Structure 1
Amino acid sequence: MREFVFALEYEPGTNPVADVLADHPDASIRSLSCHVSADSLWRVDHASGSEEALESLEQAYKTADYFADCLVKDDCGAACEVQVLDRSGDTLVVYTYWERTDVCTSVPHVALEHLGEGLLFETYREGRRYRWRIVLGNEAPIHDFFDALGEEVGECTGMEMLRLTDVDPDHSDDDVGATELPREQQAALQAAVEHGYYETPRQVELSDLAEKLEIPRSTLSYRLRRAEAALATEFADEMASLEAMPARL
C-alpha cells in the first residue's frame, strides 16, 4: 500500500467553505470519514474554531448551491442532505450526503474512476488550502489520476503534489507526536525553530517570520499555537502516565 498526499488551493469566490476558513484563521476542518460510490458521496467532517467561524461554516455547508467536495462551481442540481451531528463549544460535526448528476464530480469520484475501489481518504482544511491523503494500492496509476483531477478543477483551484510514499505500519512511539501534527503546523514549527523564534532573546518576530513564509501573521500564529498545544498536551499525558506507574522497589 502507498499513501498519496496532495493539496488544492482555492481562489477567492470559488468555494464557500474555503472563503470562510480564509476569513477565520483560527478555524480548521478534518474529515472523520469519507466514502464514495459511482453515484454518490457521503462524509463526516469535524470543524473547530471560534463561535463566529463555526456559525459561518455551518451556513456554508447548508448553502443550497454548494455540495461537499463538488468541483463544479455553480449549482449542479445534485440532491444533497446536510445534517449537523454536534454543535457544542468550539466543535462542529457535519454529515453530508449528495447524489451526482451528469455534471457533478469530486476528488473521491475522480479517484474512484482512475484508481479503483478500496481507497481510504483523509482530509484537512485550513484557510484556502485543502489537503488530501489517499491510501491506495501499489500499482494504482497516480499520474493518470492527478492529470484527470487537474482537468476537473480548472483555473479556480491550484494543485500541489506533496508526497507519494509506502505506508509504514511500524511507527515508533517517538514519532507519534510529529506525525499527528498537520503538515502545515509541522512546517510552521520547523520554520520557527530554524529562524530563532524560540530563542531567548528571539531572533525573529512573528510578523517577520510570516512574511518570510508568505502567509498572514494570524495564520502563522494560529498554526504555532495549535502545534504547541498538541505537543504540550502529549507531554502532559506522558508525564501523567509515568506518575501513575507503581514505584519499583
Structure 2
Amino acid sequence: MRELVFALEYKPGCNRVADALADHPDARVRSLSLHATADRLWRVDHATGPPAAVAAIEEAFLNSDYYADCLTTEDCGATQTTRVLDRTEDTLVLYSDWERTPSCASVPHIAHDHLGDGVLFETRHEGRHYTWRLIHSGAGDVAAFFDALQAAIGECAQMEMLRTAETAASAGGRDGASTDLTPEQEAALRGAVEHGYYESPREVDVGELAEHLDVPRSTLTYRLRRAEEHLAKQHVTGEGVTDGPSPPI
C-alpha cells in the first residue's frame, strides 16, 4: 500500500469553505468518513471553532453555488445534498451526498480514475489549506493522477506535495510518520528559529516573520503548524526522545 499526502492552497474566491476558514483561523474541518465511486461521493465532515466560525462554515457548505469539494469554479450540474447531522455552538457534523456529472472534477474522482477502486481518503481543512491523505494499492498511475489534478485546479489553487511513501504496514510496522519535514516546512522552521519566533518573549510575530521570509502569512502559519505537529508526534513515539531527563525549564 502507498500513501500520498498533499495540500491545496486556495486563492480567495475559489472555494467558499476555504474563504470561511480563512476568516476564522481558529476553525477546522476534518473528514470523519469519505467514500467515492466513479459517479458518486459520500462524506461526513466534522467542523470545530468559535460560534461565528461554525455558522460561516455551515453557510458555506449549505448555500454554495456549487459543491464545496468540486474543483470547478462554476456550477457543473452535479446533484448534491448536504445535511446537518449534529450541531452545537462550536461543533458541526455534516453529511454530503454528491452525484457526479461529466464536467465535475474532484480529488476523490480523479483518484478513482487514475488510482483505481478502494482508495482511502482523509482530509483536513484549515484556512485556505486543504490537506489530503490518500492510501491506495500502489497499482495506479500516480504521475497521471497529479497531472490530472493540476489541470483540474488550474489557477484556483497551488498544490504542495507533503509526503509519498509506503504505509506503515508495507514498511514493516512503523507508525507511518515521515522521518523528515518537507523542504517548505524545514525552511519555515529554520526561519522561525533564526528570527527569534520561538524566543520568550518572541522577537517577531508570525506576520513579521512572514514578511522576512517573503511567504503569505496563512501559508507560513500552516507550514509551522504542520512542522510542529510532525516533531511532536516524533517525540511522543520515541523518535526524538533522548536518554536522560529533560533540562529544566
Structure 2 length-normalised TM: 0.76
SS in 1 for 2:59: helix
Asked if 1:96 is matched to 2:96, the reply is yes
Question: How does 1:1-249 map onto structure 2 within 5 Å?
Answer: 1-169=1-169, 170-171=173-174, 192=192, 196-200=196-200, 202-212=202-212, 214-216=215-217, 220=221
Greater shift after overlay, 9-18 or 199-208?
199-208
Q: Which runs of 5+ in 1 are unaligned?
A: 236-249
SS in 1 for 2:124: strand
The amino acid of 1:37's aligned partner reads T
SS in 2 for 1:62: helix
Q: Which runs of 5+ in 2 are unaligned?
A: 237-249
* Superposed displacement of residue 102, structure 1: 2.2
The amino acid of 1:47's aligned partner reads A
TM-aligned CA distance change 1:131 to 1:201, over 3 Å: closer
The answer (yes or no) to whether the contact 1:16–1:66 under 8 Å persists in 2 is no
TM-aligned CA distance change 1:189 to 1:138, over 3 Å: same
Q: Map Cα deviations across residues 24-66 of structure 1 (whole Å, 9 max, x no partner).
A: 1111111111110111111011111111111011011011522
Greater shift after overlay, 209-218 or 186-195?
186-195
The amino acid of 1:7's aligned partner reads A
* Superposed displacement of residue 141, structure 1: 1.4
TM-aligned CA distance change 1:186 to 1:43, over 3 Å: farther
SS in 1 for 2:140: coil
How many residues are matched? Answer: 221
Aligned CA-pair RMSD: 3.2
TM-aligned CA distance change 1:158 to 1:201, over 3 Å: closer
Q: Percent identity?
A: 54
Q: Distance in 2 between matches of 1:211 and 1:96?
A: 39
The answer (yes or no) to whether the contact 2:17–2:68 under 8 Å persists in 1 is no
Q: Comparing both structures, which one devotes a greater share of its residues to helix?
A: 1
The answer (yes or no) to whether the contact 1:124–1:132 under 8 Å persists in 2 is yes
Q: Distance in 1 between matches of 2:187 and 2:125?
A: 15
TM-aligned CA distance change 1:206 to 1:13, over 3 Å: closer
Q: Distance in 2 between matches of 1:142 and 1:48?
A: 33
* Superposed displacement of residue 134, structure 1: 0.5
The amino acid of 2:145's aligned partner reads F
Q: Distance in 2 between matches of 1:137 and 1:111?
A: 12
